[in-house]
Amino acid sequence: MEFKFTEENLARIEKEYAKYPVKKPAIMKMLYIAQEQNGYISGEVIQEVARMLEITEEEVLGVVTFYTMYHQKPHGKYHLQVCTNVSCMLRGAYDIYNKIQNDLGVKNGEVTADMKFSLEEVECMGSCGTAPMIAINEDFYENLDAEKTMQILKELN
Amino acid sequence: MEKIVLPDIPGLSDIEVYKQNGGYQAIKKALGTSSDEVIDVVKKSGLRGRGGAAFSTGLKWSFMPKSTDKPKYLCINGDESEPGSFKDRQIFEFNPHQLIEGIMIACYAIGSNTAYLYIRGEYYKWIKLMQKAVDTAYENGLLGEKMKETFGTDFHCNLYIHAGAGAYICGEESSLMNSLEGKRGYPRVKPPFPAQNGLWGNPTTINNVETLTNVPKIIEKGWEWFSAIGEPKHPGTLLFGISGHVNKPGVYELPSGTLLTDIIYKYAGGIPGDKKIKAVIPGGSSMPVLRGDSIEGVKMDAESLRAAGSAIGTGGIMVMDEDTDLVKVLARISKFYHHESCGQCTPCREGTGWMEKLLHRMVEGHGSKRDLDLLVTVAKNIEGNTICALGEAAAWPVKFMVERFRDEFESKMSDHVQHEMPNEVHSMRHTQNPIAPVTL
């Protein structure tokens, strides 16, 4: 299916173009906006972004695969990003990570059958002083333990 | 002690409160002098970069060509992805206008009209907070063309925020520039250095967020004042982010040269359960680890830490108590560097993968003493053989942790050795993960 940005998003992209002497740097924000609109970066998104920026589709794909925040398959409604890097690990991050895997029955990179939750083990998110943490979509939840985390997920559900 | 970067003033992120506390006066003062004088003051102040290399900021600025037809750029590094460091987000949240003012002064000093503030993509909230502060500065005529009118000079600069999208390597300055140009964030070969050939081939200076937040106060109070704070060779305050096994983790702004033990016990409230300290990483995960029994008297500044066998890095202190399994910690650190290696240089792309695999085998209880030597050999073959410093960042934790805790590592090795390890070639960043089919 063809992908087109909404009028509102096209206006946001125009603002991005204005920041730089050339168009190409806007790609990072464009892909992010596309992901917001489409749910994930599909082949059609790549085609459209390449057309708009007048670059090749391979160049766009190169950017998509380099950065971890672009996803090439649909996520759950709530995308759970669990940091397990050292500062979080020392304060029990793996308890949280394992608990989520167990209770939701998903592994890293998987989505629950009802498409509600997806799980991603992420690298340091800069919450070391308030570790352990998880991010749900764009919100940080800090100073957690396994129990508190499951309570938060229950409330979302 | 007076705080420079994160003063205890409630509501300081509000532009009015910032102005009431002398905000946007330093840029006025700077504009009344020549750009050379500004560079000179910053040079004399002894301000050194807070992003890890601790290079003289004034000297860096002086590398920018004076006479050139090309546009000049300032990039501000707010990628903050080093595990254990979480200081810049405090600036975005609590003192954004002092950062903006520092950016304005830096632009004036190097003769740039355009600045890009690169913030890591995962900092969703802080990107929004910072964008709000930038918008407010524009509305108040402090940025853009209106600046000329506000300050009555012919200088102006624009500040744009560029959000990353999840890549540790983009904190490396040349990788940051490639990312800003909308490419894969591969580090560039140096020379040429950014001051000659940076963003789109133009002269560029890259400074850390914390570094520039210091600048307005230096201009306001003079270099003599700043250079008298903390250790003379690395003056000023530093934002120490302390995490791991301490009672009160967080960011503490303290003079450089503060005792590491003071930060741990006096400020961060000591270790939970009064346990002993086994290990401390003093500057973010890529810096050499120190043994808990060797931190007495160690001061937190570039020179003192070098003498103690580590480095200041980003000032991210990670504390590990006596019950910590260092094999697991090192395995996690190596997993990180393997994940973040951009894949450009073979020693790093392959080596980080081998280190992760060897350490994983050790965690599983199937490592042998020979594996320990192999691990160190792999680390030494990465170090110094890569385009950027991620090679060292990946090698140092392994090399120094095995060396300094050899007894612990050896005690965890097994005689039941699994020799089979799939000899597969590691692929480039992320392509080791299954990728959904793309129809082009």
Q: Tell me, yes or no, whether B420 lies in a domain.
A: no
Residue A1's pLDDT is 77
**Facing residues of A78 across strands?**
A117
Q: Return the closest-CA partner of residue A63 out of B204, B342, B198.
A: B342
Residue B158's pLDDT is 98
Identify which of B80, B166, B242 has the shortest CB distance to residue A126.
B80
Structural domain of residue B306, as residue ranges? 237-321
Identify which of A66, A86, A123 has the shortest CB distance to residue B339.
A123
Among the candidates A20, A39, A66, a domain finishes at A66
pLDDT per position as a tens digit, A68-111: 999 999 999 999 999 999 999 999 999 999 999 999 999 999 99
Residues from chain B that touch A26, judged by Cβ atoms under 8 A, are 182
Residue A136's pLDDT is 98
Q: Return the closest-CA partner of residue B315 out of B291, B280, B276.
A: B280
Residue B2's pLDDT is 86
Say if residue B242 is in the same domain as residue B219: no
**Facing residues of A139 across strands?**
A136
The dihedrals phi and psi of B81, each to the nearest 5 degrees, come to -120, 0
Q: What 3-state class would DSSP assign to A111?
A: strand
Residues from chain A that touch B162, judged by Cβ atoms under 8 A, are 19, 25, 28
Alpha-carbon span B191 to B209, nearest angstrom: 24
Mean per-residue pLDDT over chain B, rounded: 94
Alpha-carbon span B288 to B74, nearest angstrom: 31
Say if residue B183 is in the same domain as residue B246: no
Pairing between strand A78-83 and A117-122? parallel
Token couple for A64? 């998509």
Say if residue A40 is in the same domain as residue A82: no
Residues from chain B that touch A57, judged by Cβ atoms under 8 A, are 440
Residue in A closest to B79 by C-alpha: A126
Q: Tell me, yes or no, whether B242 lies in a domain.
A: yes
User: Is B165 in contact with A31 (Cβ distance < 8 A)?
Assistant: yes
- Residue ranges of chain B with pLDDT lower than 70? 416-440
The CATH number assigned to the domain holding B248 equals 3.10.20.600
Alpha-carbon span B250 to A115, nearest angstrom: 36
Say if residue B184 is in the same domain as residue B203: yes
User: Is A129 in contact with B242 (Cβ distance < 8 A)?
Assistant: yes
Please state the domain count of chain B: 3
Structural domain of residue A123, as residue ranges? 78-156
Pairing between strand B250-255 and B114-119? unpaired
Residue in B closest to A88 by C-alpha: B244
Among the candidates B179, B196, B227, a domain finishes at B227
Q: Tell me, yes or no, whether B190 lies in a domain.
A: yes
Say if residue B187 is in the same domain as residue B253: no
| Residue B313 Cα, gap to closest chain A Cα (Å) | 15
User: Is A85 in contact with B435 (Cβ distance < 8 A)?
Assistant: no
Which A-chain residues 20-49 have CB contacts (< 8 A) with chain B? 20-22, 24-29, 31-32, 43, 46-47
Residue B437's CB: how many other CB atoms inside 10 A?
Answer: 8
Alpha-carbon span B205 to B33, nearest angstrom: 21
Q: Tell me, yes or no, whether A43 lies in a domain.
A: yes
Alpha-carbon span B143 to A65, nearest angstrom: 35
Alpha-carbon span A74 to A95, nearest angstrom: 26
B324 touches chain A (CB under 8 A): yes
B334 touches chain A (CB under 8 A): no
A128 touches chain B (CB under 8 A): yes
Q: What 3-state class would DSSP assign to A130?
A: helix
User: Is A86 in contact with B329 (Cβ distance < 8 A)?
Assistant: yes
Say if residue A50 is in the same domain as residue A88: no
Identify which of A22, A57, A86 has the shortest CB distance to residue B318.
A86
Residues from chain B that touch A110, judged by Cβ atoms under 8 A, are none
| Residue B335 Cα, gap to closest chain A Cα (Å) | 9
The CATH number assigned to the domain holding A141 equals 3.40.30.10
Q: What 3-state class would DSSP assign to A145?
A: coil
Say if residue A87 is in the same domain as residue A142: yes
A87 touches chain B (CB under 8 A): yes
Q: Tell me, yes or no, whether B310 lies in a domain.
A: yes
Judge whether A101 and B220 are in contact, CB under 8 Å: no
Identify which of B80, B245, B340 has the shortest CB distance to residue A123.
B340
Alpha-carbon span B376 to B382, nearest angstrom: 10
A65 touches chain B (CB under 8 A): yes
Identify which of A87, A109, A135 has the shortest CB distance to residue B83.
A87
Q: Return the closest-CA partner of residue A144 out of A76, A88, A68, A103.
A: A88
Please state the domain count of chain A: 2
Say if residue A62 is in the same domain as residue A82: no
Among the candidates A66, A86, A116, a domain finishes at A66
Residue B247's pLDDT is 98
Give the torsion through C-alpha atoms of B252, A137, A66, A102, to 10 deg.
Answer: 100
Which B-chain residues 240-269 have CB contacts (< 8 A) with chain A? 241-245, 249-251
Q: Tell me, yes or no, whether B438 lies in a domain.
A: no
pLDDT per position as a tens digit, A110-148: 999 999 999 999 999 999 999 999 999 999 999 999 999
Residue B417's pLDDT is 66
The CATH number assigned to the domain holding A52 equals 1.10.10.1590
Among the candidates A36, A66, A96, a domain finishes at A66
Say if residue B341 is in the same domain as residue B387: yes
Identify which of B86, B244, B430 has the shortest CB distance to residue A90.
B244
Alpha-carbon span A150 to B349, nearest angstrom: 37
User: Is A25 in contact with B124 (Cβ distance < 8 A)?
Assistant: no
Q: What's the Cα-to-Cα distance from B192 to each of B183, B188, B199, rounded to whole Å?
A: 19, 9, 12
Q: What's the Cα-to-Cα distance from B228 to each of A23, A67, B36, B274, B417, rounded to whole Å?
A: 46, 43, 22, 36, 57
B62 contact partners, CB below 8 Å, separation of at least 6: B39, B43
A139 touches chain B (CB under 8 A): yes
Is the ipTM higher than 0.95? The answer is: yes
Say if residue B250 is in the same domain as residue B211: no
User: Is B165 in contact with A67 (Cβ distance < 8 A)?
Assistant: yes
| Residue B224 Cα, gap to closest chain A Cα (Å) | 33
Say if residue B368 is in the same domain as residue B274: no
Please list the alpha-helical segments (H only) found in chain A.
7-17, 27-38, 43-53, 57-66, 86-89, 93-104, 146-156
Q: Tell me, yes or no, whether B432 lies in a domain.
A: no
Residue B436's pLDDT is 42
Alpha-carbon span B131 to B302, nearest angstrom: 33
Residues from chain B that touch A130, judged by Cβ atoms under 8 A, are 249-250
Q: What 3-state class would DSSP assign to A121?
A: strand
Residue B437's pLDDT is 44
User: Is A19 in contact with B160 (Cβ distance < 8 A)?
Assistant: yes
Q: Tell me, yes or no, whether A51 lies in a domain.
A: yes
Alpha-carbon span B402 to B94, nearest angstrom: 39
Say if residue B170 is in the same domain as residue B49: yes
B318 touches chain A (CB under 8 A): yes
Identify which of A27, A90, A135 has the shortest CB distance to residue B182.
A27
Say if residue B399 is in the same domain as residue B254: no
Q: Tell me, yes or no, whether A2 lies in a domain.
A: no
B30 contact partners, CB below 8 Å, separation of at least 6: B38, B105, B108, B109, B219
Pairing between strand B114-119 and B158-163? parallel
Three-state SS sequence of chain B: CCCCCCCCCCCCCCHHHHHHCCCCCHHHHHHCCCHHHHHHHHHHHCCECCCCCCCEHHHHHHCCCCCCCCCCEEEEEECCCCCCCCCHHHHHHHCHHHHHHHHHHHHHHHCCCEEEEEECCCCHHHHHHHHHHHHHHHHCCCCCCHHHHHHCCCCCCEEEEEECCCCHHHHCHHHHHHHHCCCCCCCCCCCCCCCCCCHHHCCEEEEEHHHHHHHHHHHHHCHHHHHCCCCCCCCCEEEEEEEECCCCCEEEEEECCCEHHHHHHHHCCCCHHHCCEEEEECCCCCCCCEEHHHCCCCECCHHHHHHCCCCCCCCEEEEEECCCCHHHHHHHHHHHHHHHCCCCCHHHHHHHHHHHHHHHHHHCCCCCHHHHHHHHHHHHHHCCCCCCCHHHHHHHHHHHHHHHCHHHHHHCCCCCCCCCCCCCCCCCCCCCCCCCCCCC
pLDDT per position as a tens digit, B257-287: 999 999 999 999 999 999 999 999 999 999 9
Q: Tell me, yes or no, whether A90 lies in a domain.
A: yes
Q: What 3-state class would DSSP assign to A138?
A: coil
Q: Tell me, yes or no, whether B338 lies in a domain.
A: yes
Say if residue B216 is in the same domain as residue B105: yes
Residue B366's pLDDT is 87
Residue in A closest to B440 by C-alpha: A43
Say if residue B189 is in the same domain as residue B299: no
Q: Tell me, yes or no, whether B200 lies in a domain.
A: yes
Q: Position of tokens 């020979």?
A: B370
Judge whether B324 and B278 are in contact, CB under 8 Å: yes
pLDDT over 80 at A7, yes or no = yes
User: Is A85 in contact with B285 (Cβ distance < 8 A)?
Assistant: yes
Say if residue B308 is in the same domain as residue B341: no
Judge whether B415 and B368 are in contact, CB under 8 Å: yes
The CATH number assigned to the domain holding B343 equals 1.20.1440.230
